[in-house]
Structures are given as structure tokens and as C-alpha cells.
Amino acid sequence: MGRKHQAHVLAHAHIEPLLNERCNDVREAAQRVIVATSQLTIAPEGSDAEAVHDYRVALRRLRTLLVAAMPLFKANIVATVRADLRRAAHIAGRVRDEEVLCETLAAISPPPSIRDHIGTWLTHRAQKLAKHRLRVHDSIVGSALHSALAPEQTVLNPDGVPGPAGVSHDVYTFAPLDELLHRVQTLPLKKRAKAISTRALAFSALRNGARKTLQLAAQPDADTPTARHRLRIAWKRVRYTAELFTAISPTGGGSLAGKTLIKVAARMQKRLGELHDLDEAIRVIEGARRLSVADKMITVRHLRIQREGLSRMIRTELLEALSALVPWCDEPAPG
């Protein structure tokens, strides 16, 4: 079928094969995680260092596709599947958080004595990283997972947000990942899905993502670490959604405007991701019990200097980036 006609094909004819592809990407990445986890006990230096990261990216792309495809499938079933995928991604995210913490601290230059203290502290935290890796493995093969959180840390519920006071959500029971992916691949279509074109679905998804991102950027607390983190996730969703439709909708993500949007969203995702990494490093260092007050103060000062420079850059680039979203907010979704 010619490319110029693909945008008018019924959306489910494109989305269902894409769901299969995304599920297979998750399976392949998950298998790498399993292999890498087993290798850690044999030859740590030979393990697949990017396995968990690639697994998280594969999950994120699948989740983005499900959000974009919401008009095609029964909402209550999709919501349950998305919650399970989000929970799996959150567990994998803890591994990435520990890895990024090491990278962020390696990029600053405190006095040598303090750098040595930080190195010793990170060595101790390596035990926590190992526990998180095992939890990712268990979430893939299916088992009961017990929280690796220290007693003084906030207990997180399966959605990755603080749970109600006094309520513990730190034990999860997981079915094997393959069962979850099978549910994704067998989602029942709505009756009206057979009247939605690929082009309509693309414009609707991009419009929703653009509007959400602009709304978050306009919030009164938009400069806080939590708000910046939410904005980063919104930009990431815009990017992945635009990429999703690049190959199948020349008037959606595949247009020149769509490709420009991908470039802008990728840049803002990167900038805000670096800011989030610094904010997380500051939060963790400030709460570190095994570091002295002096070690924490000097390390945090170096991190804040780096953060301020990055924050100025983001403020400069963000207005221009947000302006690239405006045309998508007002674009009507064709039938």
C-alpha cells in the first residue's frame, strides 16, 4: 500500500502489529536482564550493563503506545494492564536510579578526601543495587517481591508514589511478565475502533501530549523538582508518541513538523532528565547517614552549582520548545 494512503487506513490495522513488536522488544530486553542477573554472580565485569536500561525503555515505549491507542480498546482493561506495566517499570527504575547516582557523583569535583568518602559510601550502596537487580529479575519471572527499602525510607505503592500513612504496600505478587504481555496482545477492541483512522489517532495522541505538557509547564510550582520531573515525563511521552507515528502517518509524526517535534522533545527530555538526576543526587546525599555533615555539605554545594547552570539553560530553551507544541494543540483530529 502506498505511503500516501496509509494515514487513512483503520488505526487498529497498524496498532495491533505495533503492539506485537513492542511486546517482543520487551521480551528480548527482559531476557537480557535475566541473563545479566545470572552473570553478576559469576563474572560481574562481563554482565550486560545496559540490560535494565533497555528493558525500561522498551516498557516505556509499550506504555506510550497503549496511551496513544486508548480510543481503540476497552478502557478498564487497558487501565489494569497499564498499571501492571507501570509497576514493573518502577521496580526497574530503582536500578537505573542507583546507576545514575554513581554517574552524577562522578561528574563533580569535590576535594580528594571527600571523593574517597563518597566512593566508600557508594561501595556500601552497591548492596542495595544488587537487591534491586534481583527484584527486577523476580518481577520478570514471576514471584512475591519483598521491598528492598530501608525501614526509614518512604514505602511506595505499586504505582511508585508514597502510600497512605501506616499502610504497607511493600510486598507485591507478580505473574510472569510473559502473561502480562499476552494480555496486551489480546486486548479487545471497542466497536467504534473500526471507524478510527491512523491519521485521526495520531493527531489525537499528539494533541493530548502537547496540551498536557503545556499545562504542566504553566503550573505555579513548575520550577520545583517534582514538577520538573513530571514535565520530563510529559516531554518523553510527546517524543515517543511522535516517533510512534513517523513510519505510518506522513501527516502525523512523519511530517516535517512531526520530526521537528521529535527533536525538540528529545532535547528537553535530556535536559530535564539531567536536572532530575542532580535533584535525586542532592536528595540522597542530604539523607545519607553514613556521610559526615561536612562531606554532605560540600558534595551538595558542588551538585547545586552544576544544577544552577543547567537550570538556567533549561529556562532559556524551554520557552522556545513549548512554542513548538502550540500548533499541535489546536490541530483538529481528522476522521
pLDDT, one tens digit per residue, over 2-47 is 444 444 568 888 888 999 999 999 999 999 998 888 766 544 444 5
* 1 within domain boundaries: no
* Residue ranges, the chain, pLDDT below 50: 1-7, 42-46, 144-171, 252-253, 333-335
Q: Is 208 in the same domain as 219?
A: yes
Closest by CA position to 295, among listed 305, 304, 285: 285
Q: Is 158 in the same domain as 22?
A: yes
Q: Is 281 in the same domain as 250?
A: yes
Q: Is 204 in the same domain as 309?
A: yes
What residue spans of the chain are helical by DSSP H?
3-6, 11-40, 51-68, 75-106, 112-141, 177-185, 198-217, 225-244, 256-286, 293-323, 326-330
Q: Is 285 in the same domain as 188?
A: no
Q: Is 106 in the same domain as 27?
A: yes
Neighbours of 3 (CB within 10 A): 11
Q: Is 147 in the same domain as 202?
A: no
Q: Is 184 in the same domain as 271?
A: no
Q: Is 184 in the same domain as 244?
A: no
The pLDDT assigned to 167 comes to 34
**Whole-number Å distance between alpha carbons of 304 and 55:** 31
Closest by CA position to 16, among listed 246, 204, 198, 206: 198
The pLDDT assigned to 248 comes to 61
**Whole-number Å distance between alpha carbons of 297 and 32:** 39
All 3 cell numbers of residue 127? Answer: 548492596
The pTM (predicted TM-score) of the whole model is 0.78
Neighbours of 317 (CB within 10 A): 14
Query: Which of 163, 196, 229 is at the close of a domain?
Result: 196
Q: Is 204 in the same domain as 140?
A: no
Count of structural domains, the chain: 2
All 3 cell numbers of residue 87? Answer: 509497576
Max Cα separation, the chain? 67
Q: Is 191 in the same domain as 203?
A: no
* 2 within domain boundaries: no
SS3 category, 167 = coil
Which domain, by its residues, includes 182?
A: 10-196
Q: DSSP character for 224?
A: S
* 4 within domain boundaries: no
* 5 within domain boundaries: no
Query: Which of 142, 177, 196 is at the close of a domain?
Result: 196
**Whole-number Å distance between alpha carbons of 249 and 5:** 9
**Whole-number Å distance between alpha carbons of 31 and 34:** 5
Query: Which of 180, 196, 212 is at the close of a domain?
Result: 196
